[in-house]
Structure 1
Amino acid sequence: MLFAHLGSEPRIHPDAVVAPTAVISGDVTVAAGCQVLHGAVITAEGSPIVLGENTIVMENAIVRASSTHAVHVGAHTLVGPMASIAGADIGEEVFLATGTRVFNGAEIGDRSEVRINAVVHLRTVFPPETVVPISWVAVGDPLLILPPDRHEEIWAAQKELDFPGYVFGLDRETPDLMVQLTERYGRSLSRHGTDRRID
């Protein structure tokens, strides 16, 4: 299903294949040879998304750009089932396994692997050929790759990255943080009310 959103329509190369139950919304470019499988959602929320040639986005994966963070996925990259990418730059020949999470401002170098259920926190930068083990957490620049049981070290690096400030423009210490966050984010997402299906 293709949707016009915020005045932009998806551009799908004629050699790309998009499953009929996939959703592609807004300023999205899908290059030649791409495969977007059933249930995948690729949505540009104010910044563009570009899928390079021969990229595969598997079932129920989510690729989302925000108004401040575009998404670029390099050629010959595989985005696994139920993986999510939010406002990140993914290199070429990257493998994002099932259930991986990649957050805003992350940069993943060419030929890297983020294995099953691993997390790449916001503003984290990988050199090429980095591997994040199954369920581990990558955080920061310089890069730390830690097992999930080392929460205190992960939090020490993550806190400085300021998720609510960087992604939502809100101070973590705001007393009604979630009230402000959901109201502001909800207003932004309500712009989908005027989307128009184009296929």
Structure 2
Amino acid sequence: MATIIEFEGKRPKIHTSVFVASTAVLIGDVVLDEGASVWYGAVLRGDSGIIRVGKESNVQDNVVIHADTENGTIIGDRVTLGHGCILHDTKIGDGCVIGMLATLLHHSVVEEKCMIGAGAVVREGFRIPSRSVAAGVPAKVMKELNGSAEEWLNMAHEEYTELSERYKKSARVIIE
């Protein structure tokens, strides 16, 4: 079972359809909307601000999300957060893919339908406009999203939505 911690009177709110992996940690003011999933080793620490994960969004293994201001970290619907991402007081619009090990710093904004490359660092206060592909350290907008990349982006969340259903039906922790 996941570690779910109430902090200063705030406890995570988890929709009944959500999958939360057994080693995930949810602390404080965390809201998981319908069909979201939080995978192994992920830590969502809403001790000083809200963390909201939108519908059918997936927080993959070892992602760390923190909110330390009242603005919080808000993740839109159908967002994919790749393995090992770090998000800190940021906003992500609907339909984005954030690549593995990417870091989004304080008050950064990724508008809807964006793709952020693996390992990118979106600097503090930086805004990535809608339908952009951004990469690098620091992250820069490389091009506008189009063609097959846009088609893939529109379906990226579906794999984890389906996988979470499989896990809810058949995954069991074995203690020996």
Letter of the 1:94 partner, please give it. C
Q: Higher mean Cα deviation, 59-68 or 78-87?
A: 59-68
Letter of the 1:110 partner, please give it. E
Q: Indicate the residue corresponding to 1:84 in structure 2.
A: 86
Question: Aligned partners of 2:137 and 2:117: how far apart in 1?
Answer: 8
Q: CA deviation at 1:130?
A: 1.4
Q: CA deviation at 1:145?
A: 4.4
1:74-153 to 2 correspondence within 5 Å? Answer: 74-133=76-135, 135-138=136-139, 144-145=140-141
Give yes or no for contact 1:69–1:104 (8 Å, CA) kept in 2. no
1:82-138 Cα offsets, whole Å, 9 max, x none, are: 0011000100001001000001101111000111101101100121011113x4423
Letter of the 2:116 partner, please give it. V
Can you give the 5+ residue segments of structure 2 that lack an aligned partner in the other structure?
A: 143-176
1:16-31 to 2 correspondence within 5 Å? Answer: 16-31=18-33
Question: Aligned partners of 2:117 and 2:126: how far apart in 1?
Answer: 16
Larger radius of gyration: 1
Letter of the 1:79 partner, please give it. L
1:1-49 Cα offsets, whole Å, 9 max, x none, are: 1001122000000000000100000000001101100000001121111
Letter of the 1:114 partner, please give it. I
SS where residue 87 of structure 2 aligns?
strand
Letter of the 1:119 partner, please give it. V
Tell me the TM-score normalised to structure 1 length: 0.68
- Give percent identity, aligned residues only: 23
Match of 1:35 among 8, 30, 37: 37
Aligned residue pairs: how many?
140
User: Would you say 1:3 and 2:5 are equivalent positions?
Assistant: yes
Over the residues paired in the alignment, what is the CA RMSD in angstroms? 1.3
Q: Indicate the residue corresponding to 1:66 in structure 2.
A: 68
Letter of the 2:66 partner, please give it. R
Q: CA deviation at 1:68?
A: 4.4
Letter of the 1:91 partner, please give it. G
Q: Which runs of 4+ in 1 moved over 3 A?
A: none
Can you give the 5+ residue segments of structure 1 that lack an aligned partner in the other structure?
A: 139-143, 147-199
